[in-house]
Amino acid sequence: MTSRVRILGKKVIPIWLLVLALVTTGAGAAAGTILAGKVTGEIPVAVSQALLVGNPIAACDLYPFETSDTGSAGWSTAEAHTGDTSVELETGASTGGAGQVVIPIGNKTLSQITSLSYWTKVTAGPDNYRPYLKIFLDEDGDTTTDEYWIEAEPMLTFGWGVLPVIPTGWEMFDAYDLVNPLKWMGSESCDDPWGVSDPVPTLSQYIDGTATTLGFPVWDPVPFASREYGTLTVTRIVLKVGPGGPWPDFTGYVDDLMINGLEYLNVNDLGGNDSVPQGTQRLFHSPNRYVGVHADDQTGFQFASEVAVGDMYLIAVPLKNASNNNLVAQLTLSVPECIEVEVMSADQVHGNGNIINAIRTGLNTWKFEVTADAHKWGVADNLYIAVSADDYCLPGFYTINGTIEQISY
């Protein structure tokens, strides 16, 4: 397993540290200062009512990994469905071992999840078990306490003993498959419906409030959900393995997660699998130390990080369009002499997105579009900045300042 994140693109220009200030036409000024080790800096910022910026993070942290007990989770080059990496999930030797990757999708209700599928491969583990999806749901809108959860282990769909012990290749599971849609149990389920003959609910049934299970002692389908789930807010979607008695010594991989037509878990495949010849990928690592903040008025941000020769980083800058119109923006970066940068939009990273069509227009300027749908702070709303250091760059902390201004197309 490796914690590295890979980027496809032989033309990715080395770069390092960056700070971005968001500016639109109009007036006003604000300043943001960040302290990281020996470095301080300020960003002049113009007030914007349409374009807002969130906290920038290292792209390795786009998909947080969580583990318990002997479990582990992280990027791996051992297996891949497309590209050269996937997420490896292991339980380890204990029954309490678990590993999961968290998928940031922004603020959506369950009914807004209109497509959901993923690919997985198992290389070690017990019969029938596969990495599975779990969705956490919030009722009161505070997004801090999850009142409901549902999960879809593939054996719920196919029944015990149907799936191969250890498959020889990759398998795809789809929540909306026309023949075998994933079946879900959750926090309100009456029992553990492990048999394929049981009326285990589909995601659509949870959404519309018709989720049923077998009643006891009269074995007839009975409704059990206290409400429809469609209007509940999705706080987290995770792909996980474990915990539990049958899970020890399990190793599985997940790749090419698709949600609403947007591909996830492929930050390492920047540029798309078909746009760059295999073998030309660049490996990006998470910085040892970094700080990313946005201004109080959400019109700018700074990113400061430690860099040495040979380091390459990918920064994700979340943007939000507060208007109802598509916007065109220009990014200008002020870059230290030994630092190189390249900027890519979400569609160039994921094949889809709300930050689109980034092109370089000058030495350190780029133009891109922000669609009216960029309002969820999700992966689709990120602008990506690749950073690395030239050979003569001394180790230390570096910052990059920038502005984004709304322009005519």
Domain ranges of the chain: 5-60+270-406, 64-264
- The secondary structure of the chain in percent helix, strand, coil, rounded to multiples of 5, reads 5, 45, 50
Looking at residue 343, its amino acid is V
Burial class (CB in 10 A: 0-12, 13-18, 19+), 267: buried
Which has more pLDDT, 44 or 319?
319
- C-alpha R_g of the chain: 23
pLDDT at position 158, please? 80
Mean pLDDT score, 335-352: 81
pLDDT at position 347, please? 79
pLDDT tens for 226-256 read 889 999 988 889 999 999 888 999 999 999 8
Beta carbons of 288 and 306 less than 8 angstroms apart: yes
When mean pLDDT is compared across 14-28, 49-63, 259-273, the lowest value belongs to 14-28
Q: What gap in Å lies between CA 338 and CA 358, rounded to an integer?
A: 23
- Please determine, for residue 277, whether its predicted confidence score (pLDDT) is greater than 50: no
When mean pLDDT is compared across 165-179, 207-221, 352-366, 369-383, the lowest value belongs to 207-221
pLDDT tens for 199-208 read 688 999 999 9
Class of domain 64-264: mainly beta
**Cis peptide preceding 164, ω within 30 of 0:** no
When mean pLDDT is compared across 15-29, 336-350, 375-389, the lowest value belongs to 15-29
pLDDT at position 47, please? 33
Which residues face 133 on adjacent strands? Answer: 152, 239
% of the chain at pLDDT higher than 90: 26
Beta carbons of 222 and 79 less than 8 angstroms apart: no
Looking at residue 394, its amino acid is L
pLDDT at position 187, please? 85
- Please determine, for residue 29, whether its predicted confidence score (pLDDT) is greater than 50: no
Which residues face 260 on adjacent strands? Answer: none
pLDDT at position 161, please? 65
When mean pLDDT is compared across 14-23, 167-176, 180-189, 257-266, the lowest value belongs to 14-23
- Please determine, for residue 369, whether its predicted confidence score (pLDDT) is greater than 50: yes
